[in-house]
Structure 1
Amino acid sequence: MRIRISRRLALTAAAFALLGAATAPGVAAASGEKHSSPKPTVVLVHGAWADSSSWAPVMERLRKDGYPVRAIANPLQGLTDDTAYVSSYLSTIDGPVVLVGHSYGGAVITNSAASDPDVKALVYIAGFIPAKGETVGELAAQSSPPIPLVSTSVPGGTDVSIDPDHFRDVFAGDVDRTTAASMAAAQRPANTKAVSDASVDEAFRTVPSWSLITRQDHAIAPDVQRFMSKRAGSHITEVNASHAVMISRPGAVTDTIEDAARSVR
């Protein structure tokens, strides 16, 4: 009887030893299994004449795929001030970041990423990618025809927005008329300093970048987008879409962002 009990105890001890070995640190790696690292945080920066809600269809897809997502309310008060605001916001996020900018937001991320080593990838969605000393206004002037704007005098300068009668054609040509009308009514004006402040940094020189070019864009000509993207050395994808591509083709936008995110180690 004693021998049987001893054998049972020995077998039990052996079983626990095997269990402990299977769950000990390093054993999973030795057996060929790998623990997946946390996914980078995706930070979305909208441009002029939009707001953070324009990212909603993209955010839904990213969250479904397991990505932490933040959408910043870009102040649209000028490249210098907006860069400082986004840089401050980025400093509150721990871990690697994929920084995404649409339209004018592309100029903002180009400058704000230069001060944050946690930004591991830049993604331009129909975005401006200015070189050092260049203004968004200079790049926008290469697009034709000019955008019909409405100006409003405000304390400290002038705000501009797209003439609502022309909003759909300029900004959202492939969005249904009802949605486009709502976007026109809710558009956030931008201070003229957004186009007159010179860019001071070129984060794309040291941070890998991706660019989604919109072939049916009437706000930033596709050729201008291609020029900037090639100059920045971006991984380029093109899509048949308007400037409001995150509304009309959110899947294409999400794919581009996730391509960039998969490069982060």
Structure 2
Amino acid sequence: MDTLPNIVLVHGAWADGSSWSEVIPRLQADGYRVTAPQFPLTSLAADVARLRQVLEAQDGPTVVAGHSYGGQIITALGTDAPNAVALVYVAAFALDEGESLGALLAQGPTPAALEHLITDKQGQVWLPEGDFVERFAAGVDPARARVLHAVQQPIAGSSFADVLGAPAWKSLPSWYLVAERDQAIPPQAEQLFASRMGATTVSVPAGHLAMLSHPAETTDLIKAAAGSVGGQLPA
């Protein structure tokens, strides 16, 4: 009988691995081995290198889930991601070859959560507290959202210009959770990402931090991906 696949959870910008804190215990309770590493957010190349390091350390097949910019990281794994057998996108970017975050965001009005980004002298981009609590973390208890703001990790502004190579979703099966009330990535864009990937898709009435406001639905989608691939690497 197949064992369960491993689960690796990839956080996005202005966050860290604790953003998966409501999903991790649910997966662990069902017997999954879960890793939620910290990413430097200093460049896409550095973030992908960290993810490859984590994946190479996994003992067997691994489902990789990414939130927000974490979707950019898992997509940029390309076609040779070690031990990865499935991808799960949670309110996440899922770009195609030749696309960049900056070019994508420039195509329409700036999402409400990103209207007042702060870039410091080192080129690191931060979210101000008001936009973080009221928009980025909409649907999360405000007291908790303020804590999340306090521990946010900035992202290098240069990451918005990084152009994607061959996307991992073209060689791995994908699942997508659309956050219908997202104010950081337009829900219509999330639907487009999911559609062109051919991803198995669910929609939830959640804001951008769906894994915190709707952890049960997020966990169920990850488990659905895990159940479809099993615990053995392809021959």
What TM-score, normalized to structure 1?
0.82
237-246 or 108-117, which deviates more: 108-117
Q: Which has the higher contact order (CA 8 A, sep 6+)?
A: 2
CA distance in 1, matches of 2:154, 2:25: 26
Q: Who is 2:118 aligned against? A: 150
Question: What pairs up with 1:45-56 in 2 under 5 angstroms?
Answer: 45-56=10-21
Aligned match of 2:5 in 34, 37, 40?
A: 40
2:127 is aligned to 162
User: Any residues of structure 2 matched to 1:89-238 within 5 Å, and which?
Assistant: 89-112=54-77, 114-142=79-107, 144-146=109-111, 147=114, 148-154=116-122, 158-238=123-203
CA distance in 2, matches of 1:242, 1:172: 7
Distance of aligned partners of 1:49 and 1:114 in 2 relative to their CA distance in 1, 3 Å threshold? same
Distance 2:68 2:38 in 1: 14
User: Bigger CA drift: 84-93 or 123-132?
Assistant: 84-93
Q: How far did 1:143 drift? A: 5.5
Partner secondary structure for residue 218 of structure 2: helix
The alpha-carbon deviation at position 258 of structure 1 amounts to 0.4
- Quote how far apart the aligned CAs of 1:195 are: 1.1
Give, in angstroms, the shift of residue 96 of structure 1: 0.3
Q: Are 1:143 and 1:220, in contact at CA under 8 Å, matched by a contact in 2?
A: no
Larger deviation: 137-146 or 179-188? 137-146
- Computed over aligned residues only, the root mean square deviation of the Cα atoms, in angstroms, reads 1.3
In structure 1, runs of 5+ residues without a counterpart are 1-35
CA contact (8 A) 1:150 1:163 kept: yes
Residue-pair matches, total: 227
How far apart, in 1, do the equivalents of 2:109 and 2:148 lie? 22
**Aligned mates of 2:58, 2:33 — CA distance in 1:** 11
CA contact (8 A) 1:144 1:221 kept: no
Residue 194 of structure 1 deviates from its aligned partner by: 1.9
- CA deviations over 1:179-237 (Å, ceiling 9, x no partner): 11111111110001221111112111110000000001000000011111111111111
2:35, 2:105 → 1: CA distance? 28
Given that 1:79 and 1:198 are in contact with CA atoms closer than 8 Å, whether structure 2 keeps it comes out as no
> What percent identity do the matched residue pairs reach?
39
> Which protein shows a greater Rg?
1
Would you say the 8 A contact 2:56–2:82 is kept in 1?
A: no
Q: Work out whether residues 139 and 224 of structure 1, in 8 Å CA contact, stay in contact via their aligned partners in 2.
A: no
Equivalent-residue separation in structure 2 for 1:127 and 1:213 (angstroms): 8
The alignment partner of 1:126 has SS state of strand
Structure 1's 91 and 113: CA in aligned 2 closer, same or farther, altered over 3 A? farther
| SS across alignment from 1:187 | coil
The reply on whether 1:249 has 2:217 as its aligned counterpart is no
Question: Residue 161 and residue 198 in structure 1: after superposition, are their counterparts in 2 closer, same or farther (change >3 A)?
Answer: same
